[in-house]
Structure 1
Amino acid sequence: QQLYAQPRSQLPPEVQQALRDSTGSHIVVLTAVTPDPSTSDGARQILSQIRSQEVPGGDVLVTGETAIDQDLVDFVLDHVPAAVGFVIATTLVILFLLTGSVLLPIKAVLSNLVSISASFGALVWIFQDGHLAGALGFTPQSIDPAVPVLLFATVFGLSMDYEVLLVTRIQEAYRATGDNARAVVSGLARSGRLITAAAAIMVVVFLAFASSQIVLIKAIGLGLSLAILLDATLIRALVVPSVMRLLGDANWWAPKPLRWVHDRLSGRSIA
């Protein structure tokens, strides 16, 4: 304020030129410089302090990498709950129409969220905390807001694909035998190699992305490969069959109104 209050004729020539370049009749442009990276907590704190300033008779507007990144994060946080809710609700409905079960769609969504959450945790540990920065050749930094969005959409879709392959084989065996325990064993045996082969191909493809020198692509590739590896080896091969074995015939239960809806749409009973 003292700088702008002084007569410009008393200022050094280079300062006068800088003021002419940064001021207009209704605007003043100021540059905030910080040694911190644009996505660091320090830079975001400075951004928050600037935006909290009140100028009588005017508005404070901020641009730059930090402001754009923060605006993107805020936008994602505002819209992600609705998007995630839509995906989960749609998945529950489609899986119910496929299986006629109430519990299996819920179990499928929860198991998918486990895989996704584990991949998010791994990315934070690797890229944000920087535990493998030396081995992977990058500088520790905050995770780009686009990464979790892309990971959620891709991993949820691929994981649900494996879930459908497994559950439909188990359901076919259950309809044929009426024995849930035997159906789980038969379904896993019939679909296990297919799921493993499909997952192995995807892991190799995503690991190729992880070799990129661009941190964003590296994070997406590594996150996807870890999520698919975990999903195929632990979730689909161990957790899902174990849960279905423990649930027994309750796997295929549905309230009478929903059972009627499923039977009318599919033309056959649950079992």
Structure 2
Amino acid sequence: MVIALTLLPAMLGFAGTRISAGKLKTRRMRAIEQGEREPMGVRWSRFVLRNPVKVLAVSVAGLLLLAVPALSLQLGMAGDEAATPGSTQRTAYDTITDGFGPGYNGPLTVVVDARGSHDPKAAARDAVTLLGDLPDVASVTPATFNATGDVALIRAVPGSSPTSEDTVGLVSDIRDRAAALHDDTGAELMVTGTTALNIDISDKLNDALIPYLCVVVGLALILLMLVFRSILVPLKAAAGFLLSVLATLGVVVAVFQWGWLADVFGVDQTGPIVSVLPIFMVGVVFGLAMDYQVFLVTRMREEYVHGAEPREAVIAGFRHGARVVTAAAVIMISVFAGFLFSDTALIKSIGLGLAAAVFFDAFVVRMTIVPAVMALLGHRAWALPGRLDRILPNVDVEGEKLRHLLEADAERPGGETEGEEISEPVRTGKG
């Protein structure tokens, strides 16, 4: 950002008009420059403005349909089962699974703290019996005590793989029954080990997702209200972002969890989605989505405050911003799609998730849903209640105050304004 605001303008200043020398122009571009043809962005915006209800309904319905698999989202930490086929980690995992069962790749370490028990050995035996009676336990080793004989370790092997829902349920069952063991023997029962740790991390990240979304979206709403002097425009931007995120999660679940099109993307092992992916994806995609929102809507706002009608403001926004959004989105989609050539499932899921999210947000939300909603809202899109108008500082991105000052200066005889206070005209009827 610092380079863009300092070094880039300086380099452009040195280049001068030579920066345009040798510019490649096609016949279509020359026709657009000469006014003989309209840009694709303008033609698309006019189509959306002619059919706002149909376009909005189809776009929202399509994103919601893609989001349906997200209802089955399962989060987990990637283990050796997600390693590259043929690697030593994956070979060892498959060998253990074939020879002993999938649970031997992620045994649970159960700790019996019997320092508060009158009979530590009896408490440990009760714990072994409790574990053996659980439905998804393949084997339980006898308790191993420490030197003082009051703390024991028990190794419990699940019947399912470390990342399966059955193993998650098993860890939960053991912890739920710890209270009963404490009441009977006075001993504490705890579960640890890599498998239990990964389950706990996944739960923490899953619980943090909604608060994280609320903080990010809430701060963005405030900033967008400052820039656009509107309530509905920021709400629309946030709602569109949530739609694109849900649709992306649906696509990721369908491919990496359900196995749809797994052969196309080279996914040979399905399973839970990596826990860090949703939070990572939300952070990256939200920044890109707000960039695209600002690229398009800032120009619409500028045209509107300078007197254009709402529909003409939308067309002007697309005339000047659609090409920028398209180029930026294509670049980011290409970069993220390159991750799909990785042999690691985690990298593949990140690549597919980010590429799909940018595609949905740039082309479906920002360039389809946004103009349709703006057409339906009309002047109301730019309305701001009087109380909020007085509370929020006016950053005046479009230079509206400057225009009013210049108009007032031109209306005065001789244009003399020195020493006189100019009151800013208030635009009415358009928010």
Q: TM-score, normalised by structure 1?
A: 0.87
How many percent identity over aligned positions? Answer: 34
SS of the residue aligned with 2:157? coil
- RMSD of aligned residue pairs (Cα, Å): 2.2
Select 1:44's aligned residue among 168, 179, 195: 168
Select 1:87's aligned residue among 199, 202, 216: 216
Q: Which residue of 2 aligns with 1:111?
A: 240
SS of the residue aligned with 1:217? helix
Select 2:301's aligned residue among 136, 147, 171: 171
Matches within 5 A, 1:76-155: 76-135=205-264, 136-155=266-285
1:181 is aligned to 2:303: no
Shift of residue 262, structure 1, vs aligned partner: 4.0
* Aligned mates of 1:235, 1:105 — CA distance in 2: 13
The verdict on how the C-alpha distance between 1:90 and 1:263 changes in structure 2, with shifts beyond 3 A counting, is: closer
Question: Which deviates further from its counterpart, 39-48 or 162-171?
Answer: 39-48
1:169–1:187 contact (8 Å) kept in structure 2: yes
1:38–1:65 contact (8 Å) kept in structure 2: no
The verdict on how the C-alpha distance between 1:124 and 1:256 changes in structure 2, with shifts beyond 3 A counting, is: same
Structure with the bigger percentage of helix: 1
* Aligned mates of 1:19, 1:227 — CA distance in 2: 50
Q: Which residue of 1 aligns with 2:98?
A: none
The answer for unaligned runs of 5 or more in structure 2 is 1-120, 126-140, 402-425
Question: Which deviates further from its counterpart, 35-44 or 142-151?
Answer: 35-44
* Aligned mates of 1:57, 1:141 — CA distance in 2: 39
Shift of residue 80, structure 1, vs aligned partner: 2.8
Q: TM-score, normalised by structure 2?
A: 0.56
Select 2:292's aligned residue among 143, 153, 162: 162
SS of the residue aligned with 1:37? coil
Larger Rg: 2
* Aligned mates of 1:244, 1:223 — CA distance in 2: 28
1:23–1:29 contact (8 Å) kept in structure 2: yes
Shift of residue 86, structure 1, vs aligned partner: 1.3
* Aligned mates of 1:223, 1:195 — CA distance in 2: 19
The residue type paired with residue 331 of structure 2 is: I
* Aligned mates of 1:28, 1:213 — CA distance in 2: 42
Q: Which residue of 1 aligns with 2:351?
A: 221
Q: Which residue of 1 aligns with 2:423?
A: none
Select 1:53's aligned residue among 130, 152, 177: 177
The answer for unaligned runs of 5 or more in structure 1 is 6-17
1:73 is aligned to 2:202: yes
* Aligned mates of 1:130, 1:263 — CA distance in 2: 51
* Aligned mates of 1:152, 1:265 — CA distance in 2: 27
Structure with the bigger percentage of strand: 2
Matches within 5 A, 1:190-229: 190-229=320-359
Question: Which deviates further from its counterpart, 44-53 or 120-129?
Answer: 44-53
* Aligned mates of 1:257, 1:96 — CA distance in 2: 13
